[in-house]
Amino acid sequence: MNRGLRISRGSHPPVTAIYPGSFDPLTNGHLDLIRRSSGMFDKLVVAVLNNESKQPLFSVAERQDMLRDAMSGMPNVEVGTFSGLLVHYAKERGARVILRGIRAISDYEFELQMTHMNRRLEPGIETVFLMANEAYSFVSSRLVKEVFRLGGDVTGLVPPQVEQRLRQRIRGEGL
């Protein structure tokens, strides 16, 4: 844990951050962001969005299991789930920070809109951005699924247990 980077220090109350996303499935890009930010906050809640209008590959419970597996050595990181407005969930969990990742300029416009809207809805919550690790800046859950479906190798782009689940779900192996 990188204590030198901790945002919560001294007499400030503990800072909880929420990292929301679909995580369908978790990638090493998400995991890199979770590792880096877990050292900056007292508590990090990784929150799986339950969006019923989307057709996910993995259920919310499966996505949460994959996250828990990958984060077993990170004691201040919890896994949660939410539907509805993120700021309502953040308030419920006592979080003052929303954490998001930026991979490229293409992420920026959407993130800017969401940040302004969330600030309007809940001015007490700040959105904090981390730049993606350059090794994973091209990795998205959508692209990983597409490449895997077409028979491509995704080793190193997702944790091994996620690759295993992709094999079972998409190729029907190991059932």
Closest approach of Cβ 20 to ligand ADP, in Å?
Answer: 7
Among 17, 18, 27, 37, binds ligand ADP (CB under 6 A): 27
- Local structure of residue 158 (DSSP, 8 states): B
Is residue 12 part of the annotated active site? The answer reads no
Q: From 15-23, 66-74, 117-125, 166-174, give the range in contact with ligand ADP by CB under 6 A.
A: 15-23
* Amino acid in position 75: P
Q: In whole angstroms, give the CA distance from residue 142 to residue 8.
A: 34
Residue 175 near residue 38, CB atoms below 8 Å: no
Binders of ligand ADP among residues 37 to 96 (CB under 6 A) are none
DSSP per residue over 56-111, as a string? Answer: -SS-HHHHHHHHHHHTTT-TTEEEEEE-S-HHHHHHHTT--EEEEEE-SHHHHHHH
Binding segment (CB under 6 A) for ligand ADP, from list 19-27, 59-67, 76-84, 145-153:
19-27
Is residue 141 among the annotated active site residues?
A: yes
Token digits of residue 46: 């990784």
Residue numbers 105-144 binding ligand ADP by CB under 6 A? 107, 132, 136, 139-142
**Rounded least distance, CB 172 to ligand ADP, Å:** 24
**Residues annotated catalytic, as ranges:** 30, 54, 103, 141
